[in-house]
Amino acid sequence: MQGMRIAFCLLLAACGSDFQISAETQELIVSPDLSDLGLIAVGDTLDVSLSLAAPQGQVQIFTADVLNIAGDAFVLVDETLPVVPAQDTASLTIQYAPTTVGYHWAEVTIKTSEGEENDHTVIVRGEADVVSGRLWPSLVDFGPVEAGTTATQAVTVVNEGRVPLTITASSFDNGLFALDEPLPLIVSADSTVEVLLQASPDDLSEQTGEGSLAVSIAEPLALTLRVNACSTASGDLYDSDGDGFGFCASDCDDFDAAASPGELEVCDDIDNDCDGTIDEGTECVDDDGDGLSEDEGDCNDSDPNISPDHEEELANGIDDDCDGITDDGTLDEDGDGYASSGGDCDDDNADAWPGGEELADGVDNDCDGTIDEGTVNYDDDGDGYTETDGDCDDSDAATHPDAAEAADWEDNDCDGTVDEGTVNYDDDGDGYTETGGDCDDSDASANPGEIEIDDDGIDNDCSGSGT
């Protein structure tokens, strides 16, 4: 045995320095050594992956500890620590999950099988802030909307924070209201985005609803909506056709400026003067009920005994059969179809005859004893103003240029604006009237849709208390 040991030693000596026994070299490179994750929202999460590289021998990861130094926001995600093969890579995932506002950082210490120098430390850090947003306006009045149609109104999503705001969903307690935008919708930090809302009423009844826009990692943004809402209407908004008569008052069709009280009736299948009768007094309607209108040849549509279907009665001074010849043709001096004996009040003027259309010409055209009635030159309602003088509704004595504006959704003073200076008008232009809840309609910074501002002495949100 002693001889064999000697021989083995001699063999080793013979090999010289060309042969030696050594352990496998281990080295681990961890990168990056500093990870700055930037700004994210409180309640959100963000992962950072640490790269583990073994350029020579295989390396075993024994432990990976996360020491939160500022805050408690970083955690190790991996449940199993990796073995890094030689000349290969692996990874460790650290998650940033902040629950408080501010800066956060942590040290990540990794212990390995490398030997004495087996500790690696890297730094991870980030900042978190809350999602903060609001809607302007938060109350949306669509005004008058015809049944079976859809109206749209824009509201602005205001991101008041430093992190993006994401709208993920919308909900409404009244099905006629909806959001007309694809979701999700991201609003960048300190910016605004307009979104469209819809109202699709089935009738003209007042409708209201509450809605909300769900925001990721934040409270929903609340909305109040209404349509055809006369109980809280604004005078300017509820005169949708701009004819000076409101939807909530005497305008029989607030979607057509050709229909309003006092409007001249014309042959158009519309109740232009809002009296409940269509096209009366026009040439296409049989006003006297004799079966023929003026368009059909009736030369006096105020008398059922005069029409092309009647026989001429001699010596009465009337063109009974509307053939243009009165009696024997000698009695009608002005050729208008009527003689003095038939009621022509001026047989020298062909523009004056019984049943003629009254014109603004200083002549009693219809021979009723009154000159220019029903025209722009006559004060039909007796308020001292004609339409020529600026009376915008000469059928209503309470409406004229010197009348006081009242909260009745009508242009009482004929200045082209409905209800200005009253509780039905948005005097400060903030989107709210006093009827609609504005507690100070002279200050645009005070209304139900505002956010309360500390220490400004104003009840910004009209809650009844200001700071």
Give the pLDDT band (50/70/90) at residue 466.
low
Predicted pLDDT at 429:
83
In SS3 terms, 105-156 reads as: EEEEEEEECCCCCCEEEEEEEEEEECCCEEEECCEEECCCCCCCCCEEEEEE
Do 279 and 189 lie in one domain? The reply is no
pLDDT in tens, 215-231: 998 999 999 999 999 88
Same domain, 345 and 277: yes
Rounded mean pLDDT, 406-421: 90
pLDDT for 377: 92
Q: pLDDT grade, residue 251 (50/70/90)?
A: confident
The two structure tokens encoding residue 429: 């232009």
Is pLDDT of 34 > 90?
yes
pLDDT digits (tens, 9 = 90+) for 427-448: 888 888 888 888 898 998 888 8
Domain, as residue range, for 87: 29-129
The answer to whether position 181 is within a domain reads: yes
**Residue 189 within a domain:** yes
Sorting pLDDT into bands at 50, 70 and 90, what band is 7?
very low
Are residue 119 and residue 201 in the same domain, yes or no? no
Is 73 in the same domain as 46? yes
Alpha-carbon dihedral 290, 295, 297, 300, rounded to 10 degrees: 60
Q: Rounded distance, CA 373 to CA 277, Å? A: 20
- Give the span between the Cα atoms of 347 and 324, in whole angstroms: 15
Q: What is the pLDDT of residue 19?
A: 40
Q: Which pLDDT belongs to residue 401? A: 94
Domain annotation covers residue 10: no
What's the mean pLDDT in 249-256?
Answer: 87
Tell me which of 188, 210, 232 is where a domain ends: 232
Q: Is 178 in the same domain as 88?
A: no
Residue 417 lies in a domain: no
Identify whether 8 is part of a domain.
no
SS3 420: coil
Average pLDDT over residues 83-92: 95
DSSP code of 318? Answer: B
Classify strands 119-129 and 34-41 as parallel, antiparallel or unpaired.
parallel
* 3-state class (DSSP) for residue 216: coil
pLDDT value, residue 3: 38
Domain boundary pick from 205, 232, 259: 232
pLDDT score for 457: 84
Q: What is the pLDDT of residue 314?
A: 73
Please check the confidence at residue 6 and state whether its pLDDT lies above 60: no
Please check whether residues 213 and 228 belong to one and the same domain: yes
| Residues 196 and 282 grouped into a single domain | no
Give the pLDDT score at 231. 87
Q: Closest by alpha carbon to 391, among 407, 408, 374, 406?
A: 374
% pLDDT > 90, the chain: 51
DSSP 67-116: EEEESS-EEE--SSPPEE-TTEEEEEEEEE---SSEEEEEEEEEEESSSS
User: Is 385 contained in some domain?
Assistant: no
Task: Indicate if the pLDDT at residue 24 is higher than 90.
Answer: no
Question: Cβ(291)–Cβ(297) under 8 Å?
Answer: no
Instruction: Based on the fold, state whether residues 123 and 200 are members of the same structural domain.
Output: no
- Which whole number is the average pLDDT over 203-226? 94
Reported confidence tier of residue 11, pLDDT bands at 50, 70, 90? very low
Q: Which domain CATH number covers 178?
A: 2.60.40.10
Q: In terms of domains, do 104 and 179 share one?
A: no
Contact in structure between 332 and 347 (CB atoms under 8 Å): yes
Residues 47 and 117 occupy one common structural domain: yes
- Averaged over 114-122, what is the pLDDT? 88
Look at residue 311 and tell me whether its pLDDT is greater than 90.
no
Model confidence at 467, pLDDT cuts 50, 70, 90, reads: low
Q: How far is CA 222 from the centre of its chain?
A: 14
Question: What is the tally of structural domains in the chain?
Answer: 3
pLDDT of residue 112: 95
Please check the confidence at residue 134 and state whether its pLDDT lies above 60. Answer: yes
Residue 376 falls inside a structural domain: no
| Mean pLDDT, residues 76-102 taken together | 95
What is the pLDDT confidence band of residue 298, given thresholds at 50, 70 and 90? confident
- In the predicted model, is pLDDT for residue 5 greater than 60? no
Most confident of 183-197, 262-276, 322-336: 183-197
Residue 13 has pLDDT above 60, yes or no: no
The per-residue pLDDT for 122 is 97
In a domain, residue 20? The reply is no
Domain boundary among the residues 104, 129, 154 is at 129
What pLDDT, on the 0 to 100 scale, is given for residue 330?
64
97 and 165 in one domain?
no
Binned at pLDDT 50, 70 and 90, residue 4 comes out as very low
Q: Residue 308: which residues within 8 A CB-CB, separation 6 or more?
A: 292, 296, 297, 298, 321, 322, 323
pLDDT in tens, 156-170: 999 999 999 999 999
Average pLDDT taken over every residue of the chain: 88
The pLDDT, as a whole number, for residue 448 is 83
Tell me: do 89 and 61 sit in the same domain.
Answer: yes
